[in-house]
Amino acid sequence: MFSGKVAQVRDIFIGGDNPVAVQTMYDSQIASCDVEEVLHRLRVLKSMGCDLIRFSYVSSADRENFAAICSGSPMPVVADIHFDYKMALEAIQAGADKIRINPGNIGPKWKTEEVVKAALDHSTAIRIGLNNGSLPRGREGDRPEDIMADSALEYLSWFASWGFDNTVVSLKSSDIATTISANRKLKAACDVPLHIGVTEAGGVVSSCIRSTYAFTKLFEEGIGDTMRVSITGSIEDEVHAAVEILRALGYSKGGVRIVSCPRCGRHTFDSQGFLKQVENRLLTVNKDITVAIMGCQVNGPGEAKNADVAITGIGNKVFLYYRGQLYRDVDVSVAEDSLFDLIDKI
Ligand code: SF4
């Protein structure tokens, strides 16, 4: 969204005037996975607003499933490589749209060169991904943000000398201030597209707070072209959080905006349980609408009057509202289906 240069990863463009691309990282091993299950989950993630998916590519045992995932995936696939440059070569040949490497941990420079040349031959993008936890040695005493930014600039100069520029860079730390200052430093020095995020940011609450703070600061300064919210939790939550953060900061991803009451002692409908039941399904609806889930019929409809669709209830009955007007009431056992029937009609 902010960088001058643009990287192309299959049909996703990162940088320039393009919207911030949302990404997450798959949470299980490739070699032992059920490819059809993975592809189904990727389709759901895409409908929730995910633009890129990354997998850890750890050994040659991953190759067959990885190739099948690349050819069936509804979104570009990134292979995450550490230590063994041959895994990067394999992943590129198997159809990776992008690979993530840290040139500092794959050995002598010629190995990185081999990888970059293979990426050039296959039109594969590369993310140079540097984390505070895996910094190059030899600069003890320097600030981690300086080591990360300077290392990235050095690797970018290698890539340029090999004629490669389909590159994204990430500089991440679990420390927010380090993440922000490293990205500031790199942004001031070059216009490569930047993947931003606070790494190892904790559970949902911790991560959302830390990530939102960092993204707000960075976006305000024009820094950040693709993002991951790193959560010790589900990858669906990571995508949901990223989309909500973009929306809250005014970089809308569209889709369903959920309004739900906190629930108080007046509640006659289990809005918390119902939200848990329908939330992920709602997030896959491809409509720019507001859906309210309210705990009582006394204040709920009034509080939800700006929603396109609202639901609340009393005892075994739920009431559905369409743009502030009562639409119908149904038994609570069919509440979910009735809600989605109404949404379908919009
Ligand atoms: S909608 Fe009803 S249950 Fe929910 S917070 Fe408002 S008054 Fe309480």
Instruction: Give 262-312 pLDDT, tens digit per residue.
Output: 889 989 999 999 999 999 999 999 999 999 999 998 888 887 788 999 999
- State whether residue 200 is helix, strand or coil: coil
Asked if 185 contacts 146 with a C-beta cutoff of 8 angstroms, the reply is yes
More confident residue, 82 or 303: 82
Q: How far is the C-alpha of 197 from the C-alpha of 253, rounded, in Å?
A: 18
Per-residue pLDDT, 139: 67
Mean pLDDT of 186-205: 95
User: Which residues, including other chains, have CB under 8 Å from residue 166's CB and lie 6 or more apart?
Assistant: 7, 8, 119, 123, 124, 125, 126
Q: How far is the C-alpha of 172 from the C-alpha of 275, rounded, in Å?
A: 33
Q: Of the candidates 223, 248, 273, which is a domain's last residue?
A: 248
Model pTM above 0.95? no
Asked whether the predicted pLDDT for residue 2 surpasses 70, the reply is no
Q: Of the candidates 217, 248, 279, which is a domain's last residue?
A: 248
- Atom of ligand 1 at shortest range from CA of 304: 1
Mutate to test the pocket of ligand 1, among 268, 296, 297, 298 (most ligand atoms within 8 A of CB): 296
- Atom of ligand 1 at shortest range from CA of 269: 3
More confident residue, 299 or 47: 47
Interval between CA 95 and ligand 1 midpoint (Å): 51
Per-residue pLDDT, 303: 78
- β-bridge mates for residue 210, sequence order: none
Residue 321 pLDDT level (bands cut at 50, 70, 90)? very high
221-238 pLDDT, tens per residue?
999 999 999 999 999 999
- Atom of ligand 1 at shortest range from CA of 268: 3
Interval between CA 294 and ligand 1 midpoint (Å): 6
Pocket of ligand 1 (CB under 6 A): 261-264, 266-267, 294-296, 299-300, 303
Asked whether the predicted pLDDT for residue 99 surpasses 90, the reply is yes
- State whether residue 172 is helix, strand or coil: strand
Per-residue pLDDT, 306: 87
Shortest-distance Cα residue to atom 8 of ligand 1: 264
Per-residue pLDDT, 133: 78
Mean pLDDT of 72-88: 97
Specify if 166 maps to a domain: yes
Residue 1 pLDDT level (bands cut at 50, 70, 90)? low
Instruction: Specify whether 276 is located in the same domain as 179.
Output: no
Residue 135 pLDDT level (bands cut at 50, 70, 90)? confident
Specify if 293 maps to a domain: yes
Domain CATH code at residue 287: 3.30.413.10
Q: Of the candidates 229, 248, 267, which is a domain's last residue?
A: 248
Specify if 172 maps to a domain: yes
Shortest-distance Cα residue to atom 5 of ligand 1: 263
Per-residue pLDDT, 4: 82
Instruction: Specify whether 15 is located in the same domain as 148.
Output: yes
Asked whether the predicted pLDDT for residue 32 surpasses 70, the reply is yes
Specify if 1 maps to a domain: no
Domain CATH code at residue 157: 3.20.20.20
Interval between CA 189 and ligand 1 midpoint (Å): 51
> Which residue type does 20 have?
V
The secondary element (H helix, E strand) that includes residue 127 is strand 125-131
Structure-block tokens of residue 176: 């927010």
Asked whether the predicted pLDDT for residue 198 surpasses 90, the reply is yes
The whole domain housing 225 covers: 6-248
Shortest-distance Cα residue to atom 2 of ligand 1: 296
- Atom of ligand 1 at shortest range from CA of 296: 2
Specify if 60 maps to a domain: yes
- Atom of ligand 1 at shortest range from CA of 303: 1
Nearest-CA neighbor of 230 among 208, 213, 215, 260?
208
Asked whether the predicted pLDDT for residue 140 surpasses 80, the reply is no
- Atom of ligand 1 at shortest range from CA of 262: 5
Asked if 215 contacts 29 with a C-beta cutoff of 8 angstroms, the reply is no
Shortest-distance Cα residue to atom 7 of ligand 1: 299
Nearest-CA neighbor of 125 among 134, 135, 115, 111?
115
Per-residue pLDDT, 315: 84
50: Cα separation from own chain's centroid: 6
Instruction: Specify whether 191 is located in the same domain as 309.
Output: no
Interval between CA 206 and ligand 1 midpoint (Å): 26
Asked if 192 contacts 219 with a C-beta cutoff of 8 angstroms, the reply is no
Q: How far is the C-alpha of 125 from the C-alpha of 77, rounded, in Å?
A: 10
Instruction: Specify whether 226 is located in the same domain as 264.
Output: no
| pLDDT above 70 as % of the chain | 98
Interval between CA 309 and ligand 1 midpoint (Å): 17
Nearest-CA neighbor of 240 among 23, 38, 41, 48?
48
- State whether residue 272 is helix, strand or coil: helix
Asked if 316 contacts 300 with a C-beta cutoff of 8 angstroms, the reply is no
Mean pLDDT of 194-200: 95
Asked if 178 contacts 217 with a C-beta cutoff of 8 angstroms, the reply is no
Instruction: Specify whether 85 is located in the same domain as 114.
Output: yes
Interval between CA 302 and ligand 1 midpoint (Å): 10
Average pLDDT of the chain to the nearest whole number: 94
The secondary element (H helix, E strand) that includes residue 310 is strand 309-314
Interval between CA 260 and ligand 1 midpoint (Å): 9
Per-residue pLDDT, 138: 58
Specify if 305 maps to a domain: yes
Interval between CA 272 and ligand 1 midpoint (Å): 11
Interval between CA 144 and ligand 1 midpoint (Å): 48
